[in-house]
Amino acid sequence: MISSDVIRGYTDLMILSILAKGDSYGYQLSKQIEAISDGKYSIKETTLYSAIARLEKNDHVTSYKGEGSGGTGRTYYSITLLGETYLKEKEEEWELTKEVINRFSNREGK
């Protein structure tokens, strides 16, 4: 299991990358995150929903009421154009971060 402190800066990227492939709702998002990470990371409810609140506030995602299983309206999220731009930025940022950290990690082996 990965420490959530390290990953916190990139929950936005995870959520947006899933939404870029199609709209989703809370529980599905957390299942998708767990599936894509092969069970190595499972997101906490509060981490997921505070990320969603942040993304909504910054107009990176929008929400709408859709059909739920139990008859009550379920809240779906979809990525906005602004969100797609932000996702690209985050992806570039991650590539850069990865490259830089890799130069430090495993240095003894080189």
Partner 1 sequence: MNTIQNYIEAMFRDFPKTKKTQDLKKQILESMQSKYEDLISQGTPEQDAVASVIATFGSIEELKKEYGIEEDERELLDSGFLHEYLKYRSFFAKALAAAISGIILATIIPILFDRPMMTALYLLIIGIAVFVIIAVTVSGNRYERIRSHQYALASEDQVEIIRNQDHFSRIYPILIAAGVLIIIVGVALHVLVDGRLELLPAATELQKDQPAAMLMVFVAIAVAIFVWASATASTYKQLLLSKAQDAGAWDEHMSEKKYGWLYSVTMPLSVCVFLLFGFLYNAWHIAWIVFPVTAIVTSAIVALLWYSHKSAQP
44 binds partner 1 (CB under 8 A): yes
Contacts of residue 14, defined as CB under 8 A and 6 or more positions apart, other chains included, come to 33, 36, 43
37 binds partner 1 (CB under 8 A): no
Q: Indicate the residue among 56 and 91 with the shorter CB distance to partner 1.
A: 56
Whole-number Å distance between alpha carbons of 86 and 37 = 22
49 binds partner 1 (CB under 8 A): yes
Residues 69-98 interacting with partner 1 (rule: CB under 8 A): 70, 72, 74-75
The amino acid at residue 50 is S
Helix (H) or strand (E) holding 87: helix 81-104
9 binds partner 1 (CB under 8 A): no
Helix (H) or strand (E) holding 56: helix 45-57
Write out the residues near partner 1 by the rule CB under 8 A.
26-27, 30, 42, 44-47, 49-50, 53-54, 68, 70, 72, 74-75
